[in-house]
A and B are shown apart, each in its own frame.
Chain A
Amino acid sequence: MTLQNLIHACGFEPVLVAAPQTEVTGAYTSDLLSDVIAHCPDGAVLVTVQNHKNTVAVCTLVGAPAVLVVHRRDIPEDMLDAARREGVALLRTPQDQFAASCKIGAVLEKTAK
């Protein structure tokens, strides 16, 4: 499904979405960047508490099109800059990792049917 549809269906806050038609194929939830590097699949939304620019760098590396920052944590200016530069979308939600992941899972499953 497209990033735009996912954002709409899950009610996430689109902080920075340059390419809303990007295809999202899954999600990966982790706060450890090395874990993300090792296991996050291409095309997944990264659900994380890590609100800093290195998260964007890691997304670029693994081909994750978007970061969903949980607990509505602040998104620092340099993270925004990095995301703009690298073409990575930034989303936010007041939910925690588990709730946000469940939500994405449910929406993706519904679309697959």
Chain B
Amino acid sequence: MSVVSQSPVARHVKTGAYFGVDNEPLVLLELIQRLKVRDVMTPKLVTVSRDAPMRAAQELMRKKKISGIPVEENGRFFGLVSIDDIIRALGGGYIDDPCSRHMTTKLVVLEDDMPLSFALRYFDRYSYGRFPVLNRDQRLVGIICQRDINRVLLVELTSELNRLESASGQNVMRDGSSNIYVLREFPICKYDFESAGKAANQIKQILQEKKFPPKDIRRVAVAAYELEINLCVHSDGGVLSWQVANGRSEIIARDAGPGIEDVEWACRDGTSTASEWIRSLGFGAGMGLVNVKRVSDEFEITSKKGSGTTVKSVIQIGNTPP
């Protein structure tokens, strides 16, 4: 049995990890893209040095109730002593040998800034119970196991649900009657040109069904499309959320990185950081944000290099559909 299919939460995530499945819970998809391995891993590590006897590792495992211990010295990672290694040592009578002689050194490791979806795929692909986590400098910074993922996802899902519930509650209250027509969230993955444009098209269709003026529909669709492509081309993945209430369309494109250094420059016509192959697909002409600004009644962008970017586009689309 694969590790991932052992818990109900993880099983749900597993199918979502392959994306492009329209009926997967969007909140979950967004979460496993947004959360990084470092948000989920256990950072306080119990480790042993190379010289420590296997018996010391066994003692630590018993005391801390853990099933594997990294062998590490000053952040440098050498290997892992697992329960299997200990059992073999006890059976083979070499429990007092140093860890360096019997530790597992053929290891699959994760990097701390990979999205959680990566980790889920790894748990699915390999039958390991845990993965050591290294940072960019190849220093050991944590360890991640199934339990960590379940715990963090449950916490995040609960708070996300609370947020969604209170958000829709507020809108209903402000309005007196529940005058919200639509509230949608679309997760957008990096370089997923296969799905690019889907969100904008859905938004357009919904507005057409509700018979809003075609001119306004085009403005909303343009803003949605450009922001969707931006998330796809420039961000590490993010979410496009859209809501319509009282003739006001609000699109928010939010991502978790890498952020824009000079927002003013990025909003200027013709400026672009897109690579050649993205340009060859007809994108990256440096007109995206300019287009969004042009069709919006209100436009806001906040960004910070190293963290994320949020773009808001508000478009008035007539008070109520006829």
Contact = CB atoms under 8 A, between A and B. Distances in A.
A46 to B, nearest CB: 11
B197 A35 contact: no
Interface string B198-216: 0011001000000000100
Contact of B281 (A37, A38, A50): A50
B201 A32 contact: no
A58 B281 contact: no
B282 interface: yes
A37 B282 contact: no
Given A38-B291, A54-B193, A61-B201, A32 B222 contact: no
A57 B221 CA distance: 11
B317 to A, nearest CB: 16
Interface string B216-231: 0010011001100100
A52 B294 CA distance: 26
Contact of A58 (B225, B288, B290, B294): B225
A57 to B, nearest CB: 3
Nearest to A32: B285
A52 B281 contact: yes
Interface in A45-59: 48, 50, 52, 54-55, 57-58
Given A54-B196, A57-B201, 15 more contacts: A32-B282, A32-B287, A33-B229, A33-B282, A34-B229, A34-B288, A37-B226, A38-B294, A50-B281, A52-B281, A54-B197, A57-B196, A57-B225, A58-B197, A61-B204
